[in-house]
Structure formats: C-alpha cells, structure tokens
Amino acid sequence: MIKVWGPNLTETGWGPELEEHLIGPSLITNQNGHSVILLGGRTADQNLPQKNIYRLTCTIPGCTWEKLTVSLEHPLYHFVALTVPSHMLPNFTCDGK
C-alpha cells in the first residue's frame, strides 16, 4: 500500500492496493502534479522484475490505480526515476535521437 498525503500535508490515509504486491518500484508525480506514476518493481511472491507502469489518481470519492498501456522497455526495480521539465531538454525525442 501507499501512504497518501493530503494537499496541506496534515491529512494522511492509505491508498488503494495494486493488483500485485511490488517491491522496489519508483514513484514520480506526473507533469501537472495531479497523479502519481509507479514504475517497475518486482513481484513479492515470485521475485519477477516488472515493466508495468501504473497511475494513481485521487478524486473526491477516493483514489484508484490504472495500469497504463505503455510500459518500460526493460524490467526494472530499485532504480531512481525523476521528471525533467521539457524546456530543459529542447532537442529530446522519444526515439532517443
């Protein structure tokens, strides 16, 4: 489970469970800061590295996880992920060129 902090950092609660228990995923916020992205990890029961990407979105009724249709190129766990503003990478393209 993930600990979710309210916007004023005084309210906390436990977020919803994922469909699988993961160890060592990385978490980042999306560009607008309205959701959390969970990347990779390894399954707790079979110790298998994962390529899955999930998005945690919270609204008034509660929070939900959504498994995205995109995935990591390679399975990863215990790694660092961070967001970089697009203006800092003016020549970057998704194909890596």
Distances (CA, A) of 80 to 14, 16, 24, 42, 45: 23, 23, 10, 14, 23
The pLDDT value given to residue 50 = 94
Residue 20's pLDDT is: 83
**Between 78 and 62, the higher pLDDT residue:** 78
For residue 91, is it within any domain?
no
User: Residues 55-61: contacts with CB within 8 Å, 24+ apart?
Assistant: 55/30, 56/2, 56/4, 56/15, 56/16, 58/4, 58/15
Q: What is the pLDDT of residues 34-46, one digit of tens each?
A: 788 999 999 988 8
pTM value?
0.77
| Residue 70 counted as domain residue | yes
Give the pLDDT score at 51. Answer: 95
Q: Quick one: average pLDDT of 19-41? A: 86
**13 in any annotated domain:** no
Q: Identify the domain containing residue 40 by its residue range.
A: 20-80
In a domain, 46, yes or no: yes
Q: What is the model's pLDDT at position 39?
A: 94
Total count of domains within the chain: 1
Whether 93 is covered by a domain: the verdict is: no
pLDDT at residue number 52? 94
